[in-house]
Amino acid sequence: MLKKTTSSHWGSYYAKVKNGKLIALEPYEKDLDPSLISEGMIDAIDDDLRIRKPHVRLGWYKDYLKEFKQNEKFALDRKRKKRGNDEFLEISWEEAIEIVSYELERVKTNFSNKSIFAGSYGWASSGRFHHAQSQLHRFFNCYGGYVKSVTTYSYAASETIIPHIVGMSYRKFLDEHTDWESIARNTEVILMFGSLPLKNSQVTSGGVGFHTTRLYLEKCKKNKVKFFNISPTNMEADKLVKADWIKIRPGTDTAFMLALAYILVRENLCDNAFLKKYCSGYDIFKDYLLGNKDGVKKNPKWAKKITGIEEKTFYKIVSSINNKRTLLTGSWSLQRQQYGEQPHWMVVVLAAMLGQIGLPGGGFGLGYSAENGIGNPVKNFKWPALNQFKNNVSDFIPVARYSDMLLNPGKKFTFNGSDYKYPNIKLVYWAGGNPFHHQMDLSKLTKASFKPDTIVTNEIWWNSLARYSDLIFPTSTNLERNDIGFRHWEQTVSPMHRAINPIGESKNDFEIFSLISKKLGFNKKFTENRTEMQWLEFLWIEARNLAKKNNFYLPSFREFWEGSFFEVLQPTHDQILLEDYIKNPESSPLSTPSKKIEIFSKVIDSFNYKDCPGHPSWLEPKEWLGAKIAKKYPLHLISGQPENRLHSQLDNGKHSQKMKVKQREMLKINPLDAKQRNLKNRDIVEVFNDRGACLAGIKISDEVMKGIVYLPVGAWYNPHKNENFCIHGNPNVLTDDIGCSSLSQGPSAHSTLVEIKKWKKDLPKISVFNLPVINKKIK
């Protein structure tokens, strides 16, 4: 039996192989809390849904052949509206490369590179070289450029607002979070806004060496750190640390924090010296807080009507944190809602009022437990990566505006203080991403997907994206290629040895783009005449040189490749967010206009956005439990990350499937809400609003408060009769595709109201795990 080291976004493993078949993934021995997501790979890696050969959509192909013969500039209809339901034709690699090359040249020649969108979300492979996004962008930059996306679905609102407040790029901000060792030793109270989602910490983009979040939470508990969980849910980490659960209406965290701030002012508990020395614009915010301009005092009585929390609870929390080393944490889920910039901004402001930013175990953090790596004790180091070259196309979109881009070419949109126009996209190329998982309002996305002339995808399985594509290249998994496991926020480094041969005729992204670039005449520029192994050695040599400059040792490439997992970059001291600035504000000023923490931002105020004013404010969302529409749709839907897969990856695997209820995604509902609707465990229900509906299986649980339902994202989209009805349980048929605000244009999935009722009709059969109709020859 062979045993190969490998890495994934959810952990490090030894791949066990027998007779060329993967039979097990054994966790790295230093991982004391390994993720079971890996179990899904064992059966999925060679299941019936693997795409084994190149395919072309039949309706697209027939029109393409006519255009090719006549050398047409403009594409015919290509049966675009059959995307998602069409038949496919198996073709050779030679023909597939010929087709995509012709189509790229047609679009570039007749419409320019500004009509090509290259989509990738970076979660395809944890390996450094076979990083799908890097390969895709390098290819298109060699070809003259492409329309790109900026920001993320994970934290778009936060990553747009935080640089305005503390003057850091968001990556640097996350890199420099106060580490868990400092928290466990020094923190006395943690206020968790949105909880600490332990299931999310199974993963880190770029790979996990060994899981640490649960271990550090247990250490905090042992050291008697007091936790408050201000959240509509009480799961995993919240129970582990025995947090006091403050049940809050979703979307009202800003109002809650404003009331706490009000008490701090009225009871003279603010650190005014800190606010004066290290912050800018506090007096303007204070006027708003006290109601000096709008006549509304943001006190606990006011906040009670919004949050549903009793006035005495606000005073209890202030009493609990007074004269205590306190850490405020905000989950990324807080900002995936309408006006999502406000709660994260307010976390910073509230921490500033307490005056403990930059102190061991104090201050704030945004995203602890969202990924395993955030707060990990590790010496920061930037590992070498594949050079993507320069993009000569300046056009871009905020990533969550993908549907709007396809539906509204030429329409204006605002982003971070400037106005732009959506490009006119003719060709979309996806590698390492799935908009049918990430994008809000899948009915709208479906309509948007009918617009481009061509959609090309490098894909492993016949998921929703593959079915809505025109040309599909079969792509290998991380277990079918060689790579290097460099992990940011982690100390572990390892070779990633190919464990099994590629399934069918699948190839890695580097091989695919090498073939296309050869056909288009720039193979030498794209590959630099290096093979896969030569690239790995090249990146390793770069890493060794950088390591030497940063005073740590890496072995020769041969020693490394013949070895296994090992650790580097052990920290020499605790990392504390903004410590240098607090110690030396003159020599280490922030890169904000005021050189200080911006409680009021003149820059943001100058944008004149009604949906994102110059200081954190309570802005009433369109959908929340205090809105009029809540009478029609009285349940607030939270669509968080699943515990049994990464996003939609491996939903076809047994580990994900075994948690389904009658093959539908499981929905958690409070016992009182279930009783009111005469529901019992394992009932199938219809979850619906004006945008769409889906089916889900009930689990009655006290982990969600009354008025809340929890339906994880990631169920493969399985529309039935209409594109806005998913019989499998994908919550994004229900979510609204609107930006958080004019500033970030981020996703606002958590501002969603629904109703549910028991499904009494025959259950439609799940079809997304069946192969589409595939032809060997053209009809």
Interior/surface letters 627-649, b for 16+ CB within 10 angstroms, e for the rest: beebeebebbbbbbbbbbbbbbb
- How far apart are alpha carbons 532 and 583 in whole angstroms? 47
CB 526 within 8 A of CB 138: yes
Question: From residue 325, how far is each of 218, 260, 583 by CA, in Å?
Answer: 19, 16, 18
Q: From CA 744, how far away is CA 746, in angstroms rounded?
A: 5
Identify the three-state secondary structure at position 328. strand
The catalytically annotated residue of 121, 153, 216, 332 is 121
Q: Give the rounded percent of residues in the chain with a pLDDT score beyond 70.
A: 100
Which structure tokens are listed for 755?
């109703």
Q: Which residue has the higher pLDDT, 778 or 17?
A: 17
Cβ-contact 60, 452 below 8 angstroms: no
231-245, 307-321, 407-421, range with the lowest pLDDT = 231-245
Q: Is it the case that residue 69 has pLDDT exceeding 90?
A: no
Rounded distance, CA 572 to CA 267, Å?
40
CA-based nearest residue to 151, from 751, 750, 749, 740: 740
Ramachandran quadrant class, 63 (left: phi over 0; alpha: psi -120 to 50; beta: rest): alpha
Which tokens belong to 503? 């399934």
Q: pLDDT tens across 266-315, in order?
A: 999 999 999 999 999 999 999 999 999 899 999 999 999 999 999 999 99
pLDDT band for 66, please (50, 70, 90 cuts). Answer: very high
Q: What confidence score (pLDDT) does residue 34 get?
A: 97
Concerning whether 123 is annotated as a catalytic residue, the answer is: yes
The rounded mean pLDDT for the chain is 97
- Cα Rg, the chain, nearest whole Å: 26
Q: Which amino acid is at 33?
A: D
Query: Residue 5: helix, strand or coil by DSSP?
Result: strand
Is the pLDDT confidence value at 779 over 80?
no
Q: Cα(753)–Cα(97) distance, rounded to whole angstroms?
A: 46
pLDDT of residue 73: 86
**143 close to 522: Cβ distance less than 8 angstroms:** yes
Q: Is the pLDDT of residue 54 over 80?
A: yes
Angle between helices 311-321 and 300-307 (to 10 degrees): 110
Alpha-carbon gap, residue 750 to 778, rounded angstroms: 45
DSSP string, 150-195: ES-TTTHHHHHHHHHHH---HHHHHHTSPPHHHHHHH-SEEEEET-
Query: How many residues are listed for the chain in this entry?
Result: 779
Please name every residue paired with 704 in a beta bridge, in sequence order, or none if there are none. 233
**Helix intervals (H) in 234-279:** 236-240, 253-266, 272-278
Q: What is the pLDDT of residues 632-670, one digit of tens each?
A: 999 999 999 999 999 999 999 999 999 999 999 999 999
Of 471, 597, 495, 475, the residue nearest 543 (C-alpha)? 495
Q: Which of 168, 214, 195 is nearest to 590 (CA)?
A: 168
What is the sign of the dihedral through the CA atoms of 573, 578, 579 and 584?
Answer: positive
If we measure between CA atoms, which residue out of 30, 108, 103, 45 comes closest to residue 71?
Answer: 103
Position 125 scores a pLDDT of 76
* Of the candidates 695, 691, 706, the residue with the CA atom closest to the CA atom of residue 738: 691
- Exposure class string for 79-114: b at 16+ Cβ within 10 A, else e: bbeebbebebbbbebeebbebbbebbebbbeebebb
Tokens of 194: 């949105």
- Cβ-based neighbours of 592, under 8 Å, separated by 6 or more: 164, 165, 166, 167, 280, 598, 601
Residue 5 CB coordination number (10 Å): 18
CA gap 197, 113 in Å, rounded? 41
Residue 624 binned pLDDT confidence (cut-offs 50, 70, 90): very high
Angstrom distance (rounded) from CA 12 to CA 494:
9
> In 10 A of CB 570, how many CB atoms?
10
Q: d(Cα 29, Cα 418) in Å, to the nearest integer?
A: 50
Section 571-593 average pLDDT: 97
Burial 10-38 (b: 16+ CB within 10 A, else e): bbbbbbbbeeeebeebebbeebebbbebb
Q: At what angle do helices 253-266 and 300-307 cross, to 10 degrees?
A: 170
User: Residue 557's Cα: distance from chain center in Å?
Assistant: 33
Q: How far apart are CA 63 and CA 76, in angstroms?
A: 6
Q: For tokens 């998994």, name the residue.
A: 477
Instruction: Name every residue whose Cβ is closer than 8 Å to that of residue 749 and which is 6 or more positions away in sequence.
Output: 336, 337, 440, 639, 713, 731, 732, 735
- What ranges in 412-482 are assigned the alpha helix state H? 435-438, 442-448, 464-467
Contact 236, 199 (CB under 8 A): yes
Query: 320-379 pLDDT, tens per residue?
Result: 999 999 999 999 999 999 999 999 999 999 999 999 999 999 999 999 999 999 999 999
Residue 413 β-bridge partners:
420
Q: Which of 13, 14, 60, 123 is catalytic?
A: 123
User: What is the rounded average pLDDT of the residues 48-58?
Assistant: 98
- Cα–Cα distance, 635 to 702 (Å, whole number): 15
* DSSP letter assigned to residue 410: T
Q: Would the pLDDT of 744 be above 80?
A: yes
Please state, for a pLDDT cut of 90, what percent of the chain lies above it. Answer: 95
Q: Which residue has the tokens 């958080």?
A: 740
Contact partners, residue 196, CB within 8 Å, separation at least 6: 213, 217, 236, 237, 238, 329, 331, 368, 369
Residues 755, 634: Cα–Cα separation, whole Å: 6
Answer whether residue 70 shows pLDDT above 90. Answer: no
Mean pLDDT for the stretch of residues 617-632: 98
Residue appearing with tokens 């080393």 = 325
Q: Nearest Cα to 737, choosing from 670, 677, 692, 676?
A: 692
Q: What is the DSSP letter of 91?
A: -
